[in-house]
């Protein structure tokens, strides 16, 4: 009886309070989870939006800084370039002014060089004419000396050697004058080349200091060459003068003076001292002429200042006085 009753009396699961409590707990948990999920779904986009906004602001500030620095650098560079360009323009203007002044001074020096060349040419012509007259005088003196030597046969044999020496010296002198005229022609050609170089340098507008140094070195070289030629010619002329003086100092023997006087009276030939004096005078005239040519070449080789008066240039007639001094 009891077993049957116990089998009939059963409690359903719906009527169990623990199961209902568990279901309530599960529903609460689900509500909490749903709330959390909704909060997370709302917060995550907000956080992402905030992060993106902050990143955008940071990038914008950085880009602004970069653009500001770029503009400042560009402005500084533009100012620097403008200052450099203005300084270059000023330098260019100064160079143009200096080059124009140098070109004008070079033109003036070329004009003075041309005048000096003309004066040197006139001096050379004068020397050639004087040399011809001197050669004629020397030939006449030699002929007179030959005549006197022919009449004075008893004189020592050294007079004949002296006459031959005088001829040789005359030939040497003529050769030296010819070589000197050739050297003058070479110097003139060199001066023409220098003038062409000066014109070329003026057209190219080279550096002024280098040009001045090159011009000074060329002037020094030509002055040294002219001084060397002058020394050589002075030495040769001094040797000729010493020889002629030795010839003039030679005296005839005392036993034959009467014979020479009678022969001179009979033949009416000029005495022996006269040809020597003629030779001396011709030699003296030749000496200052060579010096005058050297002075003229020196003056033509060295460019004169611009402010120098052309009337103060030495003339061919005044060279003799300068060389004698």
> Residue 308 pLDDT more than 50?
no
Q: What percentage of residues in the chain have a pLDDT greater than 70?
A: 63
Average per-residue pLDDT for the chain = 70
Q: pLDDT tens digits for 90-104?
A: 998 999 899 889 898
Is pTM, for the whole model, over 0.75? no
> Residue 325 pLDDT more than 50?
no
Please indicate whether residue 113 or residue 150 has the higher confidence score (pLDDT): 113
Planar angle of CA 209, 215, 217, nearest 5 degrees: 100
The whole-number pLDDT of residue 152 equals 62
Q: pLDDT tens digits for 147-206?
A: 776 666 555 566 667 777 778 877 887 787 777 778 778 787 888 888 787 777 766 655
The whole-number pLDDT of residue 313 equals 39
Calculate the CA dihedral of residues 313, 314, 316, 321 and round it to 10 degrees. Answer: 170
With bands split at pLDDT 50, 70 and 90, how would you rate the model's confidence at 210? low
With bands split at pLDDT 50, 70 and 90, how would you rate the model's confidence at 54? very high
With bands split at pLDDT 50, 70 and 90, how would you rate the model's confidence at 53? very high
Q: What percentage of residues in the chain have a pLDDT greater than 90?
A: 3
Q: pLDDT tens digits for 118-147?
A: 888 888 888 888 888 888 888 888 888 777
> Residue 304 pLDDT more than 80?
no
State how far the Cα of 128 lies from the Cα of 180, in Å rounded to an integer: 11
The whole-number pLDDT of residue 300 equals 44
> Residue 252 pLDDT more than 80?
no
Nearest residue to 296 via CA among 208, 230, 204? 230
């Amino acid at each position: 009886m009891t077993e049957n009753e116990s089998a009939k009396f059963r409690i359903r699961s719906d009527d169990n309070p623990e199961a209902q409590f568990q279901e309530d707990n599960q529903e609460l948990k689900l509500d909490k989870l749903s709330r959390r999920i909704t909060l997370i779904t709302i917060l995550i986009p907000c956080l992402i939006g905030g992060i993106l906004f902050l990143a955008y602001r940071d990038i914008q500030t950085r880009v602004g800084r970069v653009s500001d620095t770029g503009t400042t650098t560009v402005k500084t560079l533009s100012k620097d370039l403008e200052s450099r360009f203005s300084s270059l323009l000023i330098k260019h203007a100064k160079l143009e002014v200096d080059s124009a002044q140098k070109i004008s001074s070079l033109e003036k020096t070329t004009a003075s060089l041309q005048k000096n060349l003309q004066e040197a040419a006139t001096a050379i012509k004068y020397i050639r004419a004087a040399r011809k007259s001197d050669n004629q005088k020397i030939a006449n003196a030699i002929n007179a000396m030959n005549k006197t030597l022919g009449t004075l046969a008893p004189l020592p044999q050294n007079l004949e050697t002296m006459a031959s020496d005088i001829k040789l010296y005359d030939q040497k002198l003529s050769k030296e004058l010819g070589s000197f005229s050739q050297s003058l022609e070479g110097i003139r050609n060199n001066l023409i080349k220098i003038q062409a170089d000066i014109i070329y340098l003026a057209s190219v507008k080279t550096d002024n200091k280098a040009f001045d140094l090159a011009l000074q070195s060329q002037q020094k070289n030509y002055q040294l060459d002219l001084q060397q030629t002058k020394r050589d010619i002075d030495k040769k002329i001094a040797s000729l003068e010493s020889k002629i003086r030795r010839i003039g100092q030679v005296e005839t023997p005392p036993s034959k003076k009467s014979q020479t006087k009678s022969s001179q009276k009979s033949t009416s030939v000029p005495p022996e001292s006269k040809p020597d004096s003629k030779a001396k005078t011709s030699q003296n005239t030749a000496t200052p002429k060579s010096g005058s040519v050297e002075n003229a070449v020196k003056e033509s080789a060295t460019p004169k200042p611009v402010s120098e008066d052309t009337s103060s240039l030495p003339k061919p007639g005044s060279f003799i006085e300068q060389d004698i001094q």
